[in-house]
Structure 1
Amino acid sequence: MREVYLVGAAQSDYGSFPDESYRSLFSTAFEGAVDSVDGDLDRERIDEAYIGTLGVGGRQLGLPGPAVTEHVGLDGASCTRVENACAASGVALRQAALAIRSGVADVALAGGVEVMTDMSGEQTRYWLGVSGETEWERMAGTTFAGVYAQMADAHMAEYGTTREQLSRVAVKNHANGAKNPHAHLGFECSLDQAMEGSTVADPLNLYDCCPTSDGASAVILTSREVAEELTDEPIRLSGTGQASGRVGLFQRPTITGIPATTEAAEQAYEEADVGPEDVDFAEVHDCFSIAELLAYEDLGFCEKGEAGPYVESGATEPDGERPVNLSGGLKSKGHPIGATGGGQAVEVFKQLRGEAGDRQVDGLERGLTHNVGGSGGAVVVGVYERGWA
């Protein structure tokens, strides 16, 4: 199979933008991605486009992909809308990579977009809830936060994970997000604030939960031959993996981990010929603080049950052994559902090229993205490396 390289990547700001549309947000991300390419990329060279979106709120439920790509002048490219809940644009990126590896495309666009803040809280909870099991979770009254609260409660009971360890995820990610000009919640918080937030779904409080955001992301992938024309600082997508799991929490063999993460990670590690110990930094799916802790274990960054002590040790801080969510993660940067996975790749691209501004960590050679749909019904993992293979 052919090698795959990222030559451009960008995102819009994440937040609440009543004066923006899904088209204008995507245009911002796409034009930023084109501008980030070192060479002169003719957009007519884009063969395939994959756009992730849940399509919340009733806007352009059919054909949202072509609706945004035509807006940025990609009338000739084949466009596919990808829906895999919160993993939509992570899967879109993997599909773009597979198109290049197979020879179907030489240049492909992967991206995502979502507008979520123009709905009532009740409508937002509905659209988030449909990413879980509909009949036995959402229609029974379980919220998205409620599902992850059950996972947190089980992990705390089985492994002794503490309230403070959950809160340290929020403190770390807000500190990182405060350095990210694109972040929705770009402010720091103290440990006391994070521990004393109002309860959302016990044991999770307000500081354990990511916001719902508007935003878009775009990533340009190419074959090696095209990458050699366009950049002297290539970022190689050396491994990808995708797995599906039981959509409903009650259907799974365990709720103290996400089996699909482990399977997707094993695929990505094998394809990249690396192990978790070789990953320098990661952008993981922290829709709730417990989700980041589970990711540490499921991705192999620490042993099962050790995620609490792992975050407490400082290992995932910017100056730790493996920084996690330097962008601020979903918790601080924000979570526009369809744009999230692509946004993770944008951060990895910037860090590996030394272009992450105030949050830049020097010496990074290999990064990982981890994008989860729902509470683990779909997971996609990517491994990225600096330089040519």
Structure 2
Amino acid sequence: MRDVAVIGVGMHPFGKFLEKSLEDLARVAVWNAVEDSGVPPKEIEAAYVANSLGGLVTGQEGVRGQVILRDAGFSGIPIVNVENACASGTTALRCGWMEAALGVHDVILVLGVEKLFLPRTEDSIRILMADADVRLMDMGFQFIGWYAMELRKYMADYGWRKEHFAKVVEKNSFNGSLNPNAQYRKPLTAEQVLGSRLVADPLTLYMCAPMSDGAAAAVLCSRERAGRYTSRPLVEIAAIGLQSGRFADAGGAPRPSITTLAAKEAYERAGLGPEDVDVAEVHDAVAPSELYHYEDLGLCGKGEGAALIEAGRTRITGDIPVNTSGGLAARGHPVAATGLAQVAEIVWQLRGEAGPRQVADPKVGLVENTGGIVEDEAAVATVTLLKR
């Protein structure tokens, strides 16, 4: 298999854009990525388009990628639609990476785009809930409630406190204030976070990711051909692990999370370990979940996530910076675009182009992207390792 690099990334800023269509959002991200890559548009050979909920929002099914990319000026190439809940973007990246690695195509465009804001908020919430088992919806299931229950287990078992959760938001909101693509760019204090409206105990409003519109894109290229297009430091895809949820164990026996399993797959494929990771973007659909993602990824031991945030180790200036983009609660969470926005942040970090968010000389970056709920855990998890 060939080495594959991400030679271009681009975004449409995340936020609330009622007046914009999926096509409007995608066009900006696509052309930013293409310009960043240096690839002449006619040399893009294939594309993967990730969108999770557009069928419910717009009524367009089946050929969303073809319709969206036609508007951006791309047609006459293989275009594949990818839908995999919140991990749709990194799932599309995995497809493009494998295709380039196998030598099927040399230059591949990967796009993630989502539009969640609608005139009626209740419609947006109903549509978002379709990324869980719909039978759970009939019982009044909400993603926030599931996260709240998970966090209460950690509070009971390891003594985690709401103050730890607020520190995550304080860190990430500061990072988001430095990110021109973030939905929210206002730093928050821990006191403001704790004082915001209670949503589902222990989660307050500012701990939760917002609904978002936005798009992110990447251009992949075989390493052997990348020199034709760019003189920037090459950021290679070292590995991508992907795992899906399992049926509940009736005996209740402990088992690793699917994020842990996806991380294990990625580390083994790349010949790397958690000790090699210099910067990470993790899927904090509620900001405090970042704490147990540290553990799932091997960045600390079980129950030790709160100690990491307490010590400041995951700040931009810490020894393992996490969510330098602001994470989902600050940067925003347009479902299928989130994973590729995480990838864009890591690419900028590894190329030394992250501006005031830049960490010190990173060589290996990690992206953890999960999505959906089936039974008692996430429906899908991906872990992507990037290196320069």
Q: What is the distance in 2 between the residues matched to 1:204 and 1:103?
A: 47
1:242 matched residue in structure 2: 242
2:361 matched residue in structure 1: 363
2:336 matched residue in structure 1: 338
> Cα distance 1:166–1:250, how it changes in 2: closer, same or farther (>3 A)?
farther
Q: CA deviation at 1:156?
A: 1.1
1:275 matched residue in structure 2: 273
Q: CA deviation at 1:142?
A: 1.4
2:312 matched residue in structure 1: 314
Instruction: Please give the per-residue CA displacement for 1:269-302, whole angstroms capped at 9, x wherever unaligned.
Output: 1111110010001010011023211210000000
Look up the SS of the partner of 1:217 in the other structure.
Answer: strand
**Aligned pairs (5 A) from 1:1-389:** 1-37=1-37, 39=38, 41-56=39-54, 57-59=56-58, 60-135=60-135, 137-232=136-231, 233-246=233-246, 259-375=257-373, 376-386=378-388
Q: Which amino acid is 1:158 matched to? A: D
Q: What is the distance in 2 between the residues matched to 1:290 and 1:124?
A: 23
Look up the SS of the partner of 2:131 in the other structure.
Answer: coil
Q: Name the stretch that deviates more: 74-83 or 332-341.
A: 74-83
Q: CA deviation at 1:258?
A: 6.9
Look up the SS of the partner of 2:5 in the other structure.
Answer: strand
Aligned 8 A contact 1:246 1:252 in 2:
no
Q: CA deviation at 1:246?
A: 3.5
Aligned 8 A contact 1:125 1:143 in 2:
no
Q: What is the distance in 2 between the residues matched to 1:140 and 1:358?
A: 45
Aligned 8 A contact 2:118 2:124 in 1:
no
Look up the SS of the partner of 2:227 in the other structure.
Answer: helix
> Cα distance 1:345–1:252, how it changes in 2: closer, same or farther (>3 A)?
farther
Q: CA deviation at 1:323?
A: 0.3
Q: CA deviation at 1:194?
A: 0.9
In the alignment, structure 2 segments of 5+ residues that lack a partner are: none
> Cα distance 1:356–1:252, how it changes in 2: closer, same or farther (>3 A)?
farther
TM-score (norm 1): 0.94
Q: Which runs of 4+ in 1 moved over 2 A?
A: 55-58, 249-255
Q: What is the distance in 2 between the residues matched to 1:203 and 1:253?
A: 25
Q: CA deviation at 1:253?
A: 5.1
Paired residues, number: 381
Query: Percent identity among equivalent residues?
Result: 39
Q: What is the distance in 2 between the residues matched to 1:230 and 1:149?
A: 47
Look up the SS of the partner of 1:374 in the other structure.
Answer: strand
Aligned 8 A contact 2:166 2:288 in 1:
no
Q: Name the stretch that deviates more: 60-69 or 291-300.
A: 60-69
Q: CA deviation at 1:251?
A: 7.9
Aligned 8 A contact 1:151 1:290 in 2:
no
Look up the SS of the partner of 1:14 in the other structure.
Answer: strand
| Cα RMSD, aligned residues only | 1.8
Q: CA deviation at 1:186?
A: 1.0
Q: CA deviation at 1:74?
A: 1.6
Q: What is the distance in 2 between the residues matched to 1:252 and 1:383?
A: 34
In the alignment, structure 1 segments of 5+ residues that lack a partner are: none
Q: CA deviation at 1:377?
A: 0.9
> Cα distance 1:296–1:181, how it changes in 2: closer, same or farther (>3 A)?
same
Aligned 8 A contact 2:241 2:384 in 1:
yes
Instruction: Please give the per-residue CA displacement for 1:313-372, whole angstroms capped at 9, x wherever unaligned.
Output: 111000111000000011100000010001001101111111112212231111000110
Q: CA deviation at 1:250?
A: 9.3
Q: What is the distance in 2 between the residues matched to 1:331 and 1:265?
A: 23
TM-score (norm 2): 0.94
Q: Name the stretch that deviates more: 47-56 or 264-273.
A: 47-56
Q: What is the distance in 2 between the residues matched to 1:252 and 1:300?
A: 26
Aligned 8 A contact 1:125 1:144 in 2:
no
Q: What is the distance in 1 between the residues matched to 2:337 and 2:88?
A: 8
